[in-house]
Amino acid sequence: MRTVIVPEWLIDGTGAPPRTDYALAFDDSGRITAVGPAQEITAAENDAVVHAPGQTLLPGLINMHVHLSLASDNSPFVPYMEAHSDVALALRAVRNARASLEAGITTVRDCGARLTTVLDVREAQVSSLVPVARIVSCGWPLTISGGHMRPFGGEVDGEVGARHMVRRVISAGADFIKVAGSGGGTPGSISDQPSFLPDELQSIVRTAHGLGRRVTMHCTATAAVANAVAARVDSIEHGYFSVPGALFGFDDAVAEGLAESKIPVTPTLQVTRDMVEMAPSEADRELWRRRRDAQWEMIRRLHRAGVRLLVGSDAGWRYTRFNDLWRELEELVVCGLSPLEAIHGATGGAAAAIGRADEFGTLRPGLSADLLLARGNAANDVGSVANVDAVYLAGQRVTLAAGLV
C-alpha cells in the first residue's frame, strides 16, 4: 500500500523554494517512491491519501547537537553525572528521544554522553525496542585531563593517548568522534582557551579518518576555531570567538579561513536564548543577554563570511528541551539566514554534514520517508514548524500522544 500526501507547500530540504500543487508518495518499505506535481501522482484505489491544506510538508528535522542523557533542568553538571547510573541516563535518553520524535525531529545527533549509554539506546531504536527518533551518536567525547565534559569518561592526553581513545570509541560503535577543543560549561575547564594541542588534534583527526569516521569539535574560543581549521576537522560545534577575558573576540582572518575550509558550524544559540528567558535570577539573565548579543554578532558575521550553518540546540544542557527546535531555527533567522536556509541546515544540509544524505534529510525517491507536516507556510515563518500535525519516521506515522517536552 502507498500513502500519498498532498500538502499546500512542499519543502524538499535541498534549499530549493517551496513547491505548490506537489505531492509525495511512500510505500510499505518506508521509502519515498515519488515526489512531483500532484496531477502526476494519482492515488490508486488502495492508497491512503492525506490532504493537508494550509500545511507544509518537509523532511523530518535533524537536531545536530543534543545530549539525550541530560535533564534540561539546569542541574549542575558534575553532581548530576555522579548521581545517575548508566541505566538511569539511558532511560532519560529514551524519553528525550521520544520527545524529539513527537516534535517532528526524526534524527538527533548526540554530542556526548557517558560511555555507551546513548550508543545502547541507539541500538535499541534500530532494533525497534523503543519508538524514538533515529540517533546518531559520538558515544563519549574526548577531552583533556580536567577538561570540559570530563564526567562522560573521555579524559585523555598526548598523541598516543588520543589515538587509543579514538580507536576505543569507534570500536564501541561511535558514528563520529566528538572532541572538546576548548573548555566549556564544566567547572574547572577554561572556555576562552583552546584545550588539545595541535599535534594531539592532528592525531585524533588522522586516526578517526583512517577508520572512516568524521570528527566534530566543540569550540568556544577563537584560538580553538583556528586549531579546528588547521586540523581539518569535519564540523564545529558552537563556533564562538572568545579570547581570554572577553566574550567577543571576533577575528576576520580566522573567519575567512573557516569559510574557505567549508567546515560547517552548528551555533547552538537556543541554549543561550533559553537561559535569557529561564535563568532564575535577573543578574543571571542579564549575563546571558550579554552572551546572546555577542553570539548573535559572531554568527551574523560568520554567515556574511559564507560559513555554512547547521541547526542544533544543545538540548539537555541547561534548560534546553527536546521538543522545540523551532526556537533554534528562529535564532538563525535573527542572525540573517532566510527561513529556507535555516530549514536546509536542519534537513539536507545536516544530513550531508554527517554523511547520511543518501538515507534521509531530503524528499526524493529512495530515501527514508521521514516527514513532518506542520500548519502554516514554513518558508515564510520558520517558527510554524512548531505547529506539528503529523510525523512519520521511515513511513511509520508517529502517535502524538505523550506531549513530552
- The C-alpha cell at 118 is 546513548
Contact 371, 101 (CB under 8 A): no
Q: How far is residue 201's CA from residue 223's CA, in Å, rounded to a whole number?
A: 13
254: helix, coil or strand?
helix
Considering beta carbons, is residue 25 or 111 the nearer one to Zn ion?
111
Q: Cβ-closest residue to Zn ion?
A: 314
Distance of CA 34 to the CA centre of its chain: 27
Q: Which stretch binds Zn ion (CB under 5 A): 225-233, 278-286, 312-320, 352-360?
A: 312-320
Q: How far is residue 59's CA from residue 280's CA, in Å, rounded to a whole number?
A: 36
Considering beta carbons, is residue 125 or 320 the nearer one to Zn ion?
320
278: helix, coil or strand?
helix
The least CB distance from residue 66 to Zn ion, in Å, is 8
**Contact positions with Zn ion (CB under 5 A) in 335-364:** none
Considering beta carbons, is residue 23 or 111 the nearer one to Zn ion?
111
Residues that bind Zn ion (rule: CB under 5 A) add up to a total of 2
The least CB distance from residue 187 to Zn ion, in Å, is 16
Residues 107-136: x/- map of binding to Zn ion (CB under 5 A)?
A: ----x-------------------------
Pairing of strands 235-238, 214-219: parallel
Q: Which stretch binds Zn ion (CB under 5 A): 69-77, 306-314, 359-367, 396-404?
A: 306-314
The least CB distance from residue 185 to Zn ion, in Å, is 8
Q: Which stretch binds Zn ion (CB under 5 A): 4-12, 72-80, 314-322, 385-393?
A: 314-322
The least CB distance from residue 188 to Zn ion, in Å, is 17
Considering beta carbons, is residue 314 or 328 the nearer one to Zn ion?
314
| Nearest to 57, CA basis, from 252, 402, 347 | 347
The least CB distance from residue 112 to Zn ion, in Å, is 6
Considering beta carbons, is residue 22 or 140 the nearer one to Zn ion?
140
**Backbone φ, ψ for residue 167 (5° rounding):** -65, -40
- Residue identified by cell 500538502 is 7
Considering beta carbons, is residue 50 or 135 the nearer one to Zn ion?
135
Considering beta carbons, is residue 314 or 389 the nearer one to Zn ion?
314
6: helix, coil or strand?
strand
Considering beta carbons, is residue 200 or 314 the nearer one to Zn ion?
314
Q: How far is residue 70's CA from residue 7's CA, in Å, rounded to a whole number?
A: 36
Q: Rounded to whole angstroms, what are the CA distances from 47 to 5, 7, 25, 83, 214?
A: 10, 16, 9, 51, 41
**Selected binder of Zn ion within 102, 192, 314, 331 (CB under 5 A):** 314
205: helix, coil or strand?
helix
Contact 118, 132 (CB under 8 A): no
The least CB distance from residue 33 to Zn ion, in Å, is 37
Give 373's strand partners. 57, 390
The least CB distance from residue 312 to Zn ion, in Å, is 8
The least CB distance from residue 237 to Zn ion, in Å, is 6
Q: Which residues bind Zn ion (CB under 5 A)?
A: 111, 314
